[in-house]
Amino acid sequence: MEKRNLRKERVGVVTSNKMQKSIVVSETKKVKHPKYGKFVMKTKKYVAHDENNDCNEGDTVRIMETRKLSKNKCWRLVDVIERAK
């Protein structure tokens, strides 16, 4: 049996669900500035595949890396951690 490679996983907040079967997930993290030492917020956006269209804006989700699904989409939704209020 062939062993699968480790897949990258990210946790972020859904910022857009206007596309069909796709969501945009934003991951924010604090990074220390190399020279000045101040912590700066960095944001990275990922386009992820949402097969059932069950995510809404504001949901906290876990996504996993996968093969290329379209020009920008190479992540898929694993699960919804917390629903938006």
CATH of the domain at 62: 2.40.50.140
Give dist(CA 34, CA 37) in Å, integer. Answer: 6
How big is the CA angle at 46 (ends 2 and 19), to the nearest 5 degrees?
105
Q: Is residue 2 part of a domain?
A: no
The percentage of the chain sitting over the pLDDT mark of 90, rounded to a whole number, equals 91
Q: Is residue 3 part of a domain?
A: no
* Positive or negative torsion for Cα 56, 47, 45, 12: positive
Amino acid at 57: E
The 10s digit of each residue's pLDDT in 31-68 is 999 999 999 999 999 999 999 999 999 999 999 999 99
Q: Is residue 57 part of a domain?
A: yes
Predicted pLDDT at 1: 66
Amino acid at 74: C
